[in-house]
A and B are shown apart, each in its own frame.
Chain A
Amino acid sequence: MAPILGMHMANELLSVPVAITMLALAAAAVSWATARAAKAADVEKLPVMGVMGAFVFAAQMINFPVLPGTSDHLVGGVLLAILLGPWAALVTMAAILIVQCLLFQDGGLLALGANIINMGGTAVIGWLLYRLILGPPAAARAWRQYLAAWAACLVAVALGATLVSLEAFTSGVLQIPLKDFVAVMVGVHLISGFAEGLITFAVLAFLRRVRPAALGLPVGQFASPGKAQKLSRKAFAASVLATSLLLAAVVSWFASTRPDGLEWSYRDHRYAGSAAAIRNDSPLVALADAWQDKWTVMRDYSRREAPLGQLPPEANKTAAGKSSWPNIDGWGSLAGLLGTAATLGVLYVLARWARRRDDARAAPNETG
Chain B
Amino acid sequence: MHHAYIDRFAQGHSPVHRLDARGKLLAVLAYSGVLISFNRYAVSELAAMVVMPLAMLWFGRVPVGFALRRVIILGPFILMLAMISPLYDTSLHPVVLGPWRFAIAGGFLTAADVAVKFALGVLALTAMTCTTPFALLLEAMRKLFMPKLLVMQLGFLYRYIFVLIDEAMRIRRARDFRGAAAAPPGRKLAAAGGVIGSLFVRTLERSERIHVAMGARGYRGEPHSLSRLHFGPGDVVFLIVTVAYLAACRLAYPLIL
Q: Which positions in A face B, CB cutoff 8 Å?
A: 4-6, 8, 10-16, 19, 30-31, 34, 38, 43-55, 57-59, 61-65, 68, 74, 83, 91-92, 94-96, 98-99, 101-106, 108-110, 168, 172-177, 180, 198-199, 201-207, 210-211, 214, 228, 231, 302, 304-306, 308-312, 316-317, 320-321, 324-337, 339-340, 343-344, 347-348, 350-352, 354-355, 358, 362
Contacts and interface: CB of A to CB of B under 8 A. Distances in A.
16 contacts: A12-B121, A44-B221, A50-B159, A51-B164, A55-B164, A65-B189, A108-B32, A108-B125, A198-B189, A199-B192, A204-B193, A206-B194, A210-B198, A302-B88, A312-B91, A328-B257
A340 B172 CA distance: 50
A134 B78 CA distance: 37
Contacts of A54: 156-157, 159-161, 163-164, 203
Contacts of B193: 199, 201-206
Contacts, number: 347
Given A34-B150, A59-B199, A95-B157, A327 B110 contact: no
A239 to B, nearest CB: 13
Contact of B149 (A47, A61, A102): A47
A242 B13 CA distance: 58
A336 B189 contact: no
Given A58-B161, A202-B196, A210-B198, 18 more contacts: A5-B77, A14-B36, A34-B149, A51-B206, A95-B154, A96-B157, A202-B192, A203-B197, A206-B198, A214-B201, A302-B89, A304-B91, A312-B90, A328-B96, A334-B97, A340-B51, A347-B55, A358-B14
Interface residues of B, number: 118
Contacts of A173: 40, 110, 114
Contacts of A326: 254
Do most interface residues of chain B lie in helix, strand or loop, or is the interface mixed?
A: helix
B18 to A, nearest CB: 10
A57 B5 CA distance: 15
